Amino acid sequence: MTTVAELSNKHTVQWCPGCGDFPILIALKQAIAATGLNPKDIVVVSGIGCSGKTPHYLNTYGLESLHGRGLAAATGVQLANPKLKVIAVGGDGDGLGIGLGHFIHSCRRNVNITYIIFDNMVYGLTKGQTSPTSRKGFKTSSTPHGAIEHPINPVALALAADATFVARGFSGKLEHLTNLVKEAILHKGFSFIDVLQPCISYNHEQTYEFYNKAAYDLGATKGWKADNVEKAFKKAYEWGEKIPIGIFFQEKRSTYDDELPQDKDVPVALQPIDNVDITVMYDKYL
């Protein structure tokens, strides 16, 4: 059994005091502990940004990739060794701006990765520019007259791209978030959680107070079942006074590595390569 203490290391966490990232890190540790995974078999992969530092604060294997490329690197790990548990984390700029293509393809690919977006609707590490999830009109240093574009709806986007586990969490509700992350890790296939997370330095609109007032648990909503993609879409667009959090949609579908035609007993990364016989290929060329 892995404990939260075992998953923690000596490093000082370098986020702003009060940052919404802290509860996500705690939820992640608690969820891993609850699943009983061995830390040596986990690879936490990130992109670049405030969220990108996450692998450094966990006593597991980690890969801090390039900006926007966490999911691509994570896919490389997962396909080479499907016996590892791969958890990818990223920011809204990282995953929905520069790395958006990988997000959509990871959803439809149903690669066996848990992906958590730390969604604070602003660029933090570059000091407060507009993000793909910033609301229209949001004023930042890169959009002093207000963002002109409509924001991306990550939940709706994941649903449209055929993700098999689509959820939204709020970093102010730790227990709820921990459960979501645990469910996501246990899900076989691509499991996505958009975590609403206040940036206390650069976003003074989507604050703890804002979300505490609006967020409600879908799971506690009477009659809600996360098995209907059309209903999930409708819920995904509910935003404002009421913001649903929880699992929007989940289905069973074979994962990318399930459908790979290769021998699956031993991951390709661990197969012996000392004595590969190439002569069987010769006939075509003789």
Q: By the criterion CB under 8 A, which residues form the site for another protein?
A: 11, 39-43, 45, 48, 53, 55-56, 59-66, 69, 72-81, 83-84, 101-102, 105, 260-263, 267-271, 273-274, 276, 278, 280-282, 284-286
User: Residue 196 is inside which H or E element, if any?
Assistant: strand 191-196
Smallest distance from another protein to CB 223, Å: 38
Smallest distance from another protein to CB 124, Å: 16
Q: Are 99 and 71 in contact (CB under 8 A)?
A: yes
Closest CA to 190 of 100, 78, 112: 112
Smallest distance from another protein to CB 110, Å: 14
Between 80 and 149, CB nearer to another protein? 80
Between 186 and 268, CB nearer to another protein? 268
Between 5 and 273, CB nearer to another protein? 273
Q: Which two tokens stand for residue 38?
A: 């061995």
215 forms beta bridges with 243
C-alpha span between 186 and 169 (Å, rounded): 16
Between 105 and 188, CB nearer to another protein? 105
Between 55 and 246, CB nearer to another protein? 55
Smallest distance from another protein to CB 246, Å: 30
- H helices of the chain, in order, are 4-7, 21-35, 70-80, 92-93, 100-109, 154-160, 174-186, 208-214, 229-236, 256-259
Smallest distance from another protein to CB 262, Å: 5
C-alpha span between 172 and 206 (Å, rounded): 12
